[in-house]
Structure 1
Amino acid sequence: MGKQIELGISTFGETTVLEETGQAYSHAERIRQLVEEIELADQVGLDIYAIGEHHREDFAVSAPEIILAAGAVNTKHIRLSSAVTILSSIDPVRVYQQYATIDALSNGRAEIMAGRGSFIESFPLFGYDLADYDELFKEKLDMLTTIKSDTNLTWKGRLTQTVNNRPVYPRAVQKDFPIWVATGGNLDSTVRIAEQGLPIVYATIGGNPKHFAQLVAIYKEIGSRHGYSSDQLKVAAHSWGWIEEDNQRAIDRYFYPTKQTVDNIAKGRPHWTEMTKEQYLASVGPEGAMMVGDPEAVAQKIIAIIEDLSLDRFMLHLPVGSMPHQDVLNAIKLYGEKVAPLVKKHFEEK
């Protein structure tokens, strides 16, 4: 028996303008679509569905836990995770309670993926100071893992509340409730996550994913030095992607929604620039981070990133930018029925 790989989907519920209509889905419509997408992902055998938290017009989801709870009801096998929970600007007690509730609804299939968040809108919205960006995350992650460990919480907070021996309910169904930590590839973050023995998720969305191999090696070496087992030191990655039956059609059609997303982000970030066609083609090429094409091409690229980074889990961010809902459902079906079997067979036979 070879290595068991988990494959799934990550999404932010994007609501950019559709090329075919010149219109965008409303937030309400996109949210309803996500529940249908979760249910289909479960039906076609994918392992994980993860939803991000944002507070912007071009993303529909500000409360992923609500959508995950809805998705839990009519699914049977798929694991349900945030991607990410912006832990710095939310109460860790509430985070645990929300995901323990999803764990109950799904009978033990919920997870938390915690992160600082790559956008800062939540900080002023909820009254947090960006000057405390790093310390907020560190303190709240420590608080969250403490809540996971013990029903009764005793906690001395500096940027969080102080709690004196108060119980936190409900408790998760899973005895070892999964808390993953996401990073864009920062060395200091990798080291801290390894020192805590928490599973790590890398956002491999630009450049050549092979460049993350050194970070993975550092994570595993430091984690092992701190006494954590290989079962605890799990590594995941998520990359942007799209699947259609025809390889060239997939590449041609996916440029527009990807450019919409990148250009929207570039408006508020001085180190981002609007996407050119040349940059896009490099990203979907053999050395790029995007997984776009027909099932065979996408499967081979996923196999490569799993091997290069020694991954335990891979999530395809599908879609980046908005695509017609029926096309998204078709891409999910191709992923579960065509791509995933190719990838899993490759590693089971090794």
Structure 2
Amino acid sequence: MPIHPFEIGLDSFGEVATDGDRTLDDAETVRLLVEEAELAEASGIDVFSIGEHYRPGHVDSAAPVLLSAMAMVTERIRVGTSVTVLSTNDPVRLYHEFSTLDAVSHGRAQLVLGRASATESFPLFGYDIADYEQLFDEKLELFLRLQREERVTWSGATRTSVVDQRLRPRMRPGGIPTWIGVGGSPGSVVRAARHGLPVMLAVVGGRPQRFTGHVALYREALQQAGHDPQPVGQHSLGLVADTDDEAIETWWRYWEPVVTQLAKERGFYQPSRKRYEAELDHGALFVGSPETVARKIARVARDLSLSRFDLKYDVMHLPRRSRARTIELLGREVAPRVREILSKEPIHV
């Protein structure tokens, strides 16, 4: 059967921008994100999503607040999270935040739940990283039950019990669109399938096609669990500019120091120019002119049977004008071109 209509989204991790020779402060970057959500809507983007991080240079630590501000200045675009670290959030509080966001946005809220690739939130909120798996499993079960059932009684090992609770304000019947973020673990796609949830593949390095097996496993697990087919999305990094050369040189200038630091902290690969060019050619970086980026998105959409592609457009200290141009070109030129290419050979699952 055909998958859902193909969507194009933007992801931000709230990384501070620059304006000329000046680095924006945290408050200015928060306000810039609200402006960028407005621009995204005007440019035709389908979804605007905010991450959750607790690192210097990131201002996305209170996503529901930011998303509510965005909802107040937009009318159509859906607002959500590119990752909510469920393991260190309380499901009851999360329900209240997103039922409220869904109300103020007139039903435009959604979110992606993840276990966390960056683990700063565990010590910050007093959780033990040793409980990584159990925390996510139990909190996911509770959060989904709160969305899907009118009254909930629940008990587990990671928080106090919930006894015959009906939360307010209520979400729409059945809850809001809730995706599971997958960073490479086959167990994550099986978990999503067991609950009948869509998956968002976080592809930040290497060939996206290496996730083909994950998608096949997910489809099989959905069928075995008795669920209808669900959307598959991809989150990757990149920049769109008027020419390939401009995009390639701009992204390299700001992406290279970030990945160099991550290599020291978390064992990421060292970002040599050769490796960078390989990522541009057939890897997970979507950098180039509108035609170049559109063709690459369409190619991976077919290979992975995607119904949504989200571009993480911000990187530390990227000039605000480059961020704005990416947003404009992605919505006004890339998205229509992707849909045009895919219309000639529709994706099926």
TM-score of the superposition, structure 1-length normalised?
0.94
Question: Do structure 1's residue 42 and structure 2's residue 41 form an aligned pair?
Answer: yes
Work out the CA distance in 2 between the residues paired with 1:278 and 1:201. Answer: 28
Query: Which structure 2 residues correspond to residues 125-274 of structure 1 after superposition, within 5 A?
Result: 125-173=124-172, 175-230=174-229, 233-269=230-266, 271-274=267-270
SS in structure 1 of the partner of residue 250 of structure 2: helix
Query: Which structure 2 residues correspond to residues 1-350 of structure 1 after superposition, within 5 A?
Result: 4-15=5-16, 21=21, 24-173=23-172, 175-230=174-229, 233-269=230-266, 271-285=267-281, 287-350=282-345
CA 1:289/1:121 → structure 2, altered by over 3 Å: closer, same or farther? same
Work out the CA distance in 2 between the residues paired with 1:273 and 1:310. Answer: 28
Work out the CA distance in 2 between the residues paired with 1:169 and 1:151. Answer: 10
Aligned Cα RMSD in Å? 1.7
Confirm or deny: 8 A CA contact 1:151 1:169 kept in the other structure.
Answer: no
Aligned pairs, number: 344
Confirm or deny: 8 A CA contact 1:10 1:317 kept in the other structure.
Answer: yes
Letter of the 1:243 partner, please give it: V
Which 5+ residue runs of structure 1 have no aligned equivalent? none
Work out the CA distance in 2 between the residues paired with 1:19 and 1:30. Answer: 11
CA 1:149/1:202 → structure 2, altered by over 3 Å: closer, same or farther? same
Letter of the 1:9 partner, please give it: L
The structural deviation recorded for 1:176 is: 4.2
SS in structure 2 of the partner of residue 268 of structure 1: helix
Letter of the 2:234 partner, please give it: A
The structural deviation recorded for 1:175 is: 4.3
Letter of the 1:63 partner, please give it: A
Deviation track 1:80-118 (CA, whole Å, cap 9, x = no partner) reads 111111100110011111111111111001002100111
Letter of the 2:332 partner, please give it: E
SS in structure 2 of the partner of residue 260 of structure 1: helix
Work out the CA distance in 2 between the residues paired with 1:321 and 1:315. Answer: 18
Confirm or deny: 8 A CA contact 2:84 2:113 kept in the other structure.
Answer: yes
Letter of the 2:324 partner, please give it: L
Work out the CA distance in 2 between the residues paired with 1:40 and 1:315. Answer: 16
Confirm or deny: 8 A CA contact 1:181 1:193 kept in the other structure.
Answer: yes
Moved more, 171-180 or 313-322: 171-180
Confirm or deny: 8 A CA contact 2:236 2:285 kept in the other structure.
Answer: yes
The structural deviation recorded for 1:273 is: 3.8
Work out the CA distance in 1 between the residues paired with 2:143 and 2:168. Answer: 13
Which 5+ residue runs of structure 2 have no aligned equivalent? none
Confirm or deny: 8 A CA contact 1:187 1:215 kept in the other structure.
Answer: yes
Work out the CA distance in 1 between the residues paired with 2:159 and 2:199. Answer: 24
Deviation track 1:282-315 (CA, whole Å, cap 9, x = no partner) reads 1111x11111000000000000110110001110
TM-score of the superposition, structure 2-length normalised?
0.94
Report runs of 4+ in structure 1 exceeding 6 Å deviation: none
The structural deviation recorded for 1:173 is: 3.5
